[in-house]
Amino acid sequence: MGIVVERHPRCAVLRLSGVLDVREARHLRDVLKKVEAEDMVTVVFDMGGVKFASSSAIGVMVAFSNEHQHRYGNGSVIIYGLDKNIRRSLEVLGLLDIFVEVSSLSEALKLAGDFGGERDGA
């Protein structure tokens, strides 16, 4: 898996790729701790390159989202690019509503108040 963090003035975009297994879930947790320490109000998960997400990885994302939204308010964690199977898993578990789901990076940046005309990369 790869994690690339793009910092924008009002948000951080985490571009995730590959397989989010147990080991990568620990790495993701460490990256999210660093992002949280930077006081980014909005965090965007770009899931477009993720092929599989383990329950551990989903748990890390859900825990982060709950804590972050408690601190910054509802809507401060955005997700897009979900694989249909991952999306369905989140839906069935009742976890999709923890995130604000959008269809593109430009939509996420608009919601974050951070739109600078970036391309979606799709």
For 23-53, how does the pLDDT look when each residue is reduced to its tens digit (9 = 90+)? Answer: 999 999 999 999 999 988 999 999 999 999 9
Q: pTM of the entire structure?
A: 0.90
Contact 9, 40 (CB under 8 A): no
State how many domains the chain has: 1
Task: Give counts: helices (H), strands (E), the chain.
Answer: 4, 5
Summarize pLDDT for 76-113 with one digit per residue, the tens.
Answer: 999 999 999 999 999 999 999 999 999 999 999 999 88
CA 111 to chain centre: 14
**Tokens describing residue 95:** 């976890």
Residue 26 lies in a domain: yes
E strand or H helix at 43: strand 42-53
In this structure, what CATH number is given to the domain that contains residue 91? 3.30.750.24
Q: Is residue 116 part of a domain?
A: no
